[in-house]
Amino acid sequence: MASAAFFSTCLLANKNYLFLAPTNASAKGYISNLRVPNLASIVLRNERFVRLRGLVAMVDEGASKVSDDDSRMKIPHVLTVAGSDSGAGAGIQADLKACAARRVYCSTVITAVTAQNTVGVQGVSNVPEDFVAEQLKSVLSDMEVDVVKTGMLPSIGIVKILCNTLKEFPVQALVVDPVMVSTSGDVLAGPSILSTFREVLLPMADIITPNLKEASALLNGMQLETVDDMRSAARLLHNMGPKNVLVKGGDLPDSSDAVDILYDGLNFYELRSPRIRTRNTHGTGCSLASCIAAELAKGYPVVSAVKVAKRYVETALGYSKEIGIGNGPQGPFDHLLRLKSHSQDCHRQRPFSPSDLFLYAVTDSRMNKRWGRSIADAVKAAIDGGATIVQLREKDAETKDFLESAKACLRICRSHGVPLLINDRVDVAIACDADGVHVGQSDMPAHVARTLLGPEKIIGVSCKTPEQAQQAWVDGADYIGCGGVYPTNTKENNTTVGLDGLKTVCTASKLPVVAIGGIGVSNAGAVMEIGVPNLKGVAVVSALFDRESILTETKKLHSVLLGSNVGGT
C-alpha cells in the first residue's frame, strides 16, 4: 500500500505518480476534479476512500506544504446532521456531548435552529438548503468522517442534499434517527417528508432508530402497543432498505422495563433494561443514536454499538435523576456525569494555595486502629488543632470502607475549608470527589492522574531528587513532598535524604515543597530553618496520629511552625 511519505516524495521530485484503479465511482469523480499538475492518474488499492481523501487533500495543498500523514493519529469521527436545541438537551448539542462522553470527535452540520426549553419548542428556523449543502461539503471533503448521524431533517430538499452529498463523499456508516416529533410533542419534520425518508434516506442507512411514534408514522399509522408489534414494525421498516432497524419501546404502555427491538434482517435482538423513572429524558433519542454512531466509528459491530449506547443512556439517566434544570415537564440529562458534584453542597473546593502545605496531616489506618479511633474522628481532631491540609493514607483499608471514610472526612474538611487529598488511590479520589491525590514514584504517574482528575484537582508527588522534582512540574503537579528528611518507622525501607537532600530538591523545584519523614514538634523548626522560600510546611503522620491526643499534638506543632519562618509566610 502506498504511504503518505511516497506521495510526498513524488511531489517533491515533481514526478507524475499513479494510484491504481478506484472501483468506487464517487472516488473517481472526486479525483478527476483535482487540480494537481503532476497527477497522472489515480489508483486505489484496498485503500479506504476516506484515507484516500486525506492523501489527496495533502497533495491538493501543493508541494509547499507536504506533511507525513502516517504520523497523524486517526481519531474516530462522527458528523451529526441535525437541528440546534437552544436548551441544549437534544439535537446538535446532545450529539456533541454524547460523542464527547464516548470519546469520539464530533463535527456538526446544522439543519435548523430551534428556540427550545424544557417546556417545549417555541420556534424553528430552517437553515437555507444551499447553506446546509455548503456545511456538508466543508466537513466531508476535508475531515475524514467515519460515520454520519442524522437528526432533525426539516425539509425534503435537505434530505435530498444530504443523500446526494453522501454519494459524493461516502462514509463507513449512516445512522438515521428519523426525528419527527420532539419529546414535548412539537412537530420537527412534517408528514410530507415521510415519503422522502422512505424512498431516499432509509435505503442508504446502516441503522435507523425510530421510537414508537416515528415507526408508526413511517408505517402509515400502524398501531404499536406490544413487543410483538415492535418486531413486526422492525421487519416492515427493514423492507424499506436500512441494514438494521432499532425500534425503541420507551413509550410502550404497561412495561416496567425499557424494551428495544433490534432487527438486522436475520435476527431479532430484544434489549431490555430497567426503566428509569425521571423527568430528565429530553434528548435521549439523539444521544442514543449519537452513541451508536460513535461506537460504529470506533469500528464496533452494530449489535455491540447498540448495546453500549443503551447502557450509556441508562447510566446517564440514572445519574441525572434528580437534576433540576428548567421548569418544564422534560429536563435535560447530564451526558458527562459531572454536573452533580458542583451542586450537592454549598462547601465547594477552593483553589489550591501553597500555604495549604503549612501543617499537612497524613492519616494512618494502623495508628487509628491502635488508638481505637475512626478516621473521621482523627481528621476532625487534626483540623481542630490547626492542620491546613489532610491526606488519607489508608494502606490497609478495604476499598468500600475507604470510600465511606473518605466521604465522611470530605464533609468535615469542606466545612472547615481544608483540602482533602487521597494517597495513591486516584479511583477513590474520583469516586468521592476529593480535592486531589498524593502519588509517589511507583504510583500512577502524575500526568495520568491529571488527565483523570481534571485541571482543578490538587496533585502532589513524592520526590527525592531534583530530576523527580522537574518531572513532577512537567507532569502538571501542584506541589511535591520531599523526604524522608529523618528516619521514620511509618514507611518501610524509606531512604532518608536529610536536610541537605531536602535543600537540594527545594532549590531545584519549581513547585512548592512540603517536607516529610520523621518530623514532629521537636525538629519541625530545624526543618523550616533551612530557609528555602518554596519550602512551605511539614507533613506529619506519627507525631500527630500515633499520640494519645491528636488535638494537643497538632496544636503544639502548629505553634512551632508559626514560630518558624515558613516559606517566607
| Catalytic positions, written as ranges | 248, 281, 283-286
Q: Is 490 a residue that touches ligand 3NM (CB under 6 A)?
A: yes
| Interaction between residue 425 and ligand LCLJCK34 (CB under 6 A) | no
For position 47 contacting Mg ion by CB under 5 A, the verdict is no
d(CA 263, CA 244): 6
Handedness of CA 438, 441, 445, 450 (dihedral sign): positive
Tell me the closest approach of the beta carbon of residue 540 to ligand 3NM, in angstroms.
5
End-to-end CA distance of the chain: 65
284 interface partner picked from ligand 3NM, ligand LCLJCK34, Mg ion, none, CB below 5 to 8 A per type: none
Nearest C-alpha neighbor of 556 from the set 537, 543, 567 = 543
Site track 153-182 with ligand LCLJCK34 (rule: CB under 6 A), x = hit: ------------------------------
Q: Which of 118, 192, 113 is nearest to 151 (CA)?
A: 113
HSE-CB for 212 with a 13 A CA cutoff: 16
Contact between 440 and Mg ion by CB under 5 A: the answer reads: yes
- Other CB atoms within a 10 A radius of the CB of residue 238 amount to 18
CB of 149 to ligand 3NM, least distance (A): 50
Query: Under the criterion CB under 6 A, does residue 488 sit at the interface with ligand 3NM?
Result: yes
Q: For the window 512-541, what string marks contact with ligand LCLJCK34 as x by the rule CB under 6 A?
A: --x-x----------------------x--
Q: Are 20 and 45 in contact (CB under 8 A)?
A: yes
127 DSSP 8-state letter = P
Angle between helices 49-60 and 4-12 (to 10 degrees): 20
Residue 339: phi and psi, rounded to 5, are: -75, -35
How many residues are given for the chain? 569
* Cell reading at 311: 447502557
Distance CA(81)–CA(111), nearest Å, equals: 7
State the binding partner of 283 from ligand 3NM, Mg ion, ligand LCLJCK34, none, CB within 5 to 8 A by kind: none
Instruction: Name the closest residue to Mg ion (Cβ).
Output: 440
Work out which of 481, 512, 518, 537 binds ligand LCLJCK34, going by CB under 6 A: 481
Query: Could you give the CA distance from residue 569 to residue 565 in angstroms, rounded to a whole number?
Result: 7
The answer for residues whose C-beta is within 8 angstroms of residue 400's C-beta and 6 or more apart is none
Region of 62 on the Ramachandran plot (φ > 0 left; ψ -120 to 50 alpha; else beta): left
**x/- binding map, residues 410-429, to Mg ion, per CB under 5 A?**
--------------x-----
Contact call for residue 255 and ligand 3NM (CB under 6 A): no
Give me 102's grid cell.
Answer: 464516548
Contact region with ligand LCLJCK34 (CB under 6 A), list: 240-248, 337-345, 438-446, 560-568: 438-446
Instruction: Kindly tell me which of 129 and 427 has the beta carbon lying closer to ligand LCLJCK34.
Output: 427
Q: Return the one option of Mg ion, ligand 3NM, ligand LCLJCK34, none that residue 484 interacts with (CB less than 5 to 8 A, by type).
A: ligand 3NM
| Interaction pattern, residues 503-522, with ligand 3NM; x per rule: CB under 6 A | -------------xxxx---
481 binds ligand 3NM (CB under 6 A): yes
> Which residue lies nearest ligand 3NM, judged by its C-beta?
483
Compose the 453-472 pattern: x for residues touching ligand LCLJCK34 by CB under 6 A, - for all others. Answer: -------x-x----------
Q: How far is the CB of 302 from Mg ion (least distance, A)?
A: 44
Q: Smallest Cα–Cα separation from 102: which of 72, 80, 117?
A: 80
Contact residues for ligand LCLJCK34, defined by CB under 6 A: 360, 362, 391, 393, 423-424, 438-440, 443, 460, 462, 481, 483, 491, 514, 516, 539
